[in-house]
């Protein structure tokens, strides 16, 4: 199974700018712009996960929806409570059992959860900043959660800032 583990986009508002609950904290305008461009980059790479599951928190939902839209998969994004903060390898096992028939899943969640899960299943420590995508291949999801990190790309690597000149 191919897993694409994604940390939600930038949602760090300046002090005092966000007054609501943490669960309702949205992406910043810059975070939205970067995730839109990142989604376009993932589309150019040909990513087509069968399902995009995300944490019920607003910033993860927004990230999943923006990426799904860019991939032409808007109907495949769904909230899943297991991806709430605290997601771990045990929750991943449950998700994989629920979706055992799938060949590819994208999971959108939070820090430090996404990095911890990648480390647990691959044995390698990674840093997953906002918007980072980790592609992990799990050979036998029904038997063990041992996998291989295929690639990891930060938002900065995936998006193109149209205001910059590239040579």
Domains and CATH numbers, the chain: 2-10+24-158 (3.40.50.1240)
Quickly state the pLDDT bin for 159 (edges 50, 70, 90): confident
pLDDT for the residue 142: 66
Please give the residue that has the higher pLDDT: either 159 or 40. 40
pLDDT for the residue 43: 95
CA distance 149 to 161: 27
Of the candidates 136, 137, 129, which has an alpha carbon nearest to the alpha carbon of residue 157? 129
Q: What is the pLDDT of residues 49-101, one digit of tens each?
A: 999 999 999 999 999 999 999 999 999 999 999 999 999 999 999 999 999 89
Please give the residue that has the higher pLDDT: either 136 or 164. 136
Residue with tokens 């607003």: 58
Of the candidates 115, 130, 152, 159, which has an alpha carbon nearest to the alpha carbon of residue 25? 130
* Residue 164 scores a pLDDT above 80: no
CA distance 107 to 128: 13
Kindly report the average pLDDT of the chain as a whole number: 91
Going by C-beta distance under 8 Å and a sequence separation of 6 or more, which residues neighbour residue 49?
A: 2, 4, 71, 73, 76, 104, 105, 106
Pairing of strands 147-153, 133-138: antiparallel
Going by C-beta distance under 8 Å and a sequence separation of 6 or more, which residues neighbour residue 51?
A: 76, 78, 99, 102, 105, 106
């Amino acid at each position: 199974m191919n897993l694409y583990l994604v940390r939600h986009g930038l949602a760090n508002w300046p002090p005092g700018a966000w007054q609501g609950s943490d669960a309702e904290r949205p992406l910043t305008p810059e975070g939205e712009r970067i995730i839109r461009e990142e989604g376009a980059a993932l589309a150019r790479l040909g990513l087509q996960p069968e399902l995009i599951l995300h944490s019920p928190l607003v910033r993860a939902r927004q990230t999943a929806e923006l990426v799904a839209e860019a991939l032409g998969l808007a109907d495949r994004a769904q909230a899943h409570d297991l991806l709430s903060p605290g997601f771990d390898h045990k929750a991943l096992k449950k998700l994989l059992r629920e979706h055992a028939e799938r060949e590819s899943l994208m999971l959108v969640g939070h820090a430090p959860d996404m990095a911890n899960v990648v480390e647990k299943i691959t044995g390698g420590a990674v840093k997953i900043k906002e918007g980072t995508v980790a592609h992990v291949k799990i050979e036998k999801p029904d038997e063990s959660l041992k996998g291989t990190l295929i690639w990891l790309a930060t938002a900065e690597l995936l998006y193109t800032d149209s205001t910059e000149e590239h040579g």
